[in-house]
Amino acid sequence: MSEESSGSKRKVEVCFSPALFPVYFQDKNCAVVVIDVFRATSAICSAIDNGVTGVIPVATIDEAYEYKEKGFLVGAERQAEVVEGFDFGNSPITFKSGKFSGQDIVLTTTNGTKAVELAKEASNVVIGSFANLDAVCKYLERLDKDVILFCAGWKDRFNLEDTLFAGAVVEKLAENLRFADLQDSAIASKDLYLKAKDDLFGFLSESSHRKRLSKLNLEEDILYCLKLNQSKNVPVLLNGKIVKG
């Protein structure tokens, strides 16, 4: 196929909010990258890196309780804090001790796990974070499908950190002529990332969620979430569970 044929080019779009996902999700045969940099998708990558065999994402606290009653290890975060009565929240640091290694866990978060739930009908659902940026991009190139970069946002609002990660993926994919059909949302995200990439931490200093986390003394988490390519793993959704792809 010729490069000029737009039919041979893969479309790359960024969905900035769960409330917009139905607008962008018009064809199930696509790759959806779920992005919740602070902190759900960074935490899921860390869990898989540290030996967790599977992460079962659930949307509500009620579902999370049901799993807890069945004996699962369950994480629950709302408003950036661990929900009382659960084993952990969405800090990626949690998994570094390796104490969850070899086990399945359950997780519910304010934004990220809801986005996974919305995306589950797509043929491929991938978990993206700065920790596995290059690995995700290589995976998307191998899949060779249209891509929706799905920012979990904050309570359906646009946020900067998820958009920057989306832009980082667009920048990498756009080097490959197969992914030349960049929609407006992809162009905007890439330009923002190019502006911010040399100092992500500084660029995000005015962002609403970094301020929210800083108030909770989560600077260590923030630094972890903004460190590129710590992992070669690509967590993917398979039969309702996130596993190593």
| Residues at the site binding a copy of itself, with contacts judged by CB under 8 A | 13-14, 16-17, 19-20, 23-24, 154-160, 163, 182-185, 187-188, 191-192, 195, 206-209
Q: Least distance (Å) from a copy of itself to the CB of residue 145?
A: 19
Q: Taking the complex as a whole, how short is the minimal distance between the CB of residue 88 and a copy of itself, in angstroms?
A: 27
Of 82 and 187, nearer to a copy of itself (C-beta) is 187
Taking a C-beta distance cutoff of 8 angstroms, is the pair 193, 168 a contact? yes
Beta carbon of residue 99, minimum distance to a copy of itself (angstroms, whole number): 35
Compute CA distances 59 → 43, 106, 115, whole Å: 16, 10, 9
User: Min. distance of Cβ 217 from a copy of itself in angstroms?
Assistant: 20
Which residue type sits at 82? V
31 phi/psi in degrees, rounded to 5? -105, 125
Residue 28 backbone dihedrals phi, psi, to 5 degrees: -65, -25
Shortest CB 8 distance to a copy of itself, Å: 18
What token pair was written down for 208? 């609403």
In the bound state with a copy of itself, the residue whose beta carbon lies nearer, of 39 and 132, is: 39
DSSP state of 88: B
Helix runs in the chain, H state only: 21-24, 40-49, 61-69, 112-119, 133-143, 160-173, 184-196, 200-203, 208-215, 219-225
For a copy of itself, the closer CB: 21 or 95: 21
Q: How far is it, in rounded angstroms, from Cα 186 to Cα 168?
A: 10
129-152 burial: b if 16+ Cβ within 10 Å, else e: bbbbbebbbebbbeeebbbbbbbb
Q: Find the shortest distance in angstroms from Cβ 82 to a copy of itself.
A: 24
Answer yes or no: are the C-beta atoms of 116 and 235 closer than 8 Å. no
Structure token digits, residue 55: 């992460």
**Closer residue to a copy of itself, CB minimum distance, 64 or 80:** 80
Shortest spacing between CB 23 and a copy of itself, in angstroms:
4
